[in-house]
Structure 1
Amino acid sequence: MIKVAIITGASSGIGRASAIALSKAGWSLVLFARRKEKLTETQNLCQNPNQCLIIQGDVTSEESVKGLFQQTLERYGRLDMLFNDAGMNAPQIPIEDLSLDQFQQIVNINLVGPFLCTREAVRMFKSQSPQGGRIINNGSISAYTPRPHSAPYTSTKHAVLGLTKSTALDGRAFNITCTEIDIGGARTDMAIGHSAGALQPDGRIISEALFEAEHVGNTIAYIADLPLDVTVLTFNIMATGMPFVGRG
């Protein structure tokens, strides 16, 4: 039986690395993001491009998310895994300088998007046979320890941890499992600036260690291939030299 995964934010970074790793592992993929040309690049990097369905859309749009899952059902007839990867950060500025629009944009992408996708995935998981499936949420070490001037991002990542735990609990009776992967320092467009210099709690700006995003993709593929009677609730992967334990 084919294994089918939806990846949001599949146009770059962790989403792209995960698509490549899952394709190598034999998964059929549904790649979802706002930039179609970047989704096509991801598709062409996969081992089996013909097993990748590209859907352009926005995780903050309920209509768009419903269409994503409907097209997945029509194409493959089932879903085995959802990776809620799409996300963004706000400018690293003091909270008093943040606008409500900036804060709400982060909440919509980082929290409302995973909620909408999780809701639709759970509906599919409960209705299909055999029943069940796996959800992986892209969290952050900010779900535990914030960076300076990161209130919107940190707030949403704390909330995603709550969504992860609630989904794991409520899905238990239906063979639905949920994981949060907390990533620190993967070499992506979002994090690349940290290698040049990142603001520390003591006011210093220092270069931080990064690691290749492919290692996150391989981790996603490993968790995805676990049987559904095995749950990884949280998984931390970060650069060895990253200032997290002690934050300095």
Structure 2
Amino acid sequence: MNAERTERTGHPTGADDGAAGAPPRTAVVTGAGSGIGRSVAVELLRSGWSVALAGRRAETLEETAGLVPDAVESGRALCVRTDVARPDDVEGLFAAVRDEFGRLDLLFNNAGTFGPGGVPVEELPYDAWRHVVDTNLNGAFLCAQAAFRQMKEQEPQGGRIINNGSISAHVPRPHSVAYTATKHALTGLTKSLSLDGRPYRIAVGQIDIGNAATDMTERMQSGILQANGELAVEPVMDVADVARTVRHMAELPLGANVQFATVLATAMPYVGRG
């Protein structure tokens, strides 16, 4: 296995955490070393969840966990270096969760990459296209598949998967063919997983996010290419608002599901003509 545990603390949580009437308490967050993944992981940890933080860089995962010191001290934070595009890494991640926490109540399928920005479709290298597809789509599938297996087999049965889509799951930006294609594909993945999860009490939904303030959206505040060819500064929102929305979706009873949620900076050019 290529997954490498970088921090192992504490003892498994009780298997009854996911029982009917009780809030779920064990989560996997991919892409937890920065941006939306970091914010969601911190929100869950501060709310009492046990969280496995997954990402490609051990040091950034540890930085995320360190933002909630009591979670580290109590054994609720587990950092697992993971490249979601590698099946062995994903297998190792979910094995670590089983060993450490005993069950899985939530997967936040968040890891993703935009790829090279500003490259016209006719100039996009195939390797760049493949990297975006492997991370955004294949990685999401591999993690969802592993979560399905665990949620189906555990007792009590069931759990929740939340896929991180994007406004790009609805409409593209210029020169974003790989990112947009994978985010549209995630919507199909979400729908199919949602249907297939019904017999096993596995609820699957998607959050589509527009202009959360992270490193990825810094360029919004200096001007970004619009569909009409002009550059325009776009508003951003606090990433903590996204994290609170994910937690709300996550803490619903399994008999209820937010199938699709769109959370965006109010005045970003999406609704209407910009």
Does TM, scored on the shorter chain, surpass 0.5?
yes
Other-structure match for 1:198:
224
Q: What is the alpha-carbon root mean square deviation over aligned residues?
A: 0.9
By how many angstroms is 1:185 displaced?
0.4
* Percent identical: 47
Deviation at 1:92, TM superposition (A): 2.2
Letter matched to residue 194 of structure 1:
M
Unaligned runs of 5+ in 1: none
2:104 maps to which residue? 79
1:209 maps to which residue? 235
Secondary structure in 2 matching 1:216: helix
Mapped to 2, the partners of 1:51 and 1:101 lie a distance apart of: 38
Q: Deviations over 1:90-142 (max 9, x none)?
A: 22221011010010000000000000000000000100011000000110011
Distance 1:181 1:109 in 2: 18
TM-score, with normalisation over the residues of structure 2?
Answer: 0.89
Q: Go from structure 1 to structure 2 and tell me whether the alpha carbon gap of 1:88 and 1:247 turns closer, same or farther (over 3 Å shift).
A: farther
CA distance in 2: counterparts of 1:220 and 1:112, whole angstroms: 22
Check if 1:48 corresponds to 2:67. Answer: no
Stretches (4+) displaced over 6 A: none
- Point out where structure 2 has 5 or more consecutive residues left out of the alignment: 1-15, 18-24
Partner in structure 1 of residue 48 of structure 2: 26
Cα distance in 1 between the residues matched to 2:67 and 2:168 = 30
- Which of 207, 210, 213 is the equivalent residue of 1:187? 213
- Aligned pair count reads 248
Structure 1 residues 147 and 213, CA gap change in structure 2 (3 angstroms): same
CA deviation digits over 1:182-235, x for unaligned, max 9? 000000111111111110000110000001111111111111110000011110
The TM-score with structure 1 as length reference comes to 0.98
Q: Name whichever of 42-51 and 12-21 sits farther off.
A: 42-51
> How does 1:104-143 map onto structure 2 within 5 Å?
104-143=130-169
Out of 70, 83, 88, the residue aligned to residue 63 of structure 1 is 88
Q: Which residue type is aligned with residue 14 of structure 1?
A: I
Measured at CA, do residues 9 and 188 of structure 1 come closer, stay the same or move farther in structure 2, by a change above 3 Å? Answer: same
In structure 1, distance between residues paired with 2:125 and 2:252: 42
AA aligned opposite 1:77: G
Matched, 1:88 2:113: yes
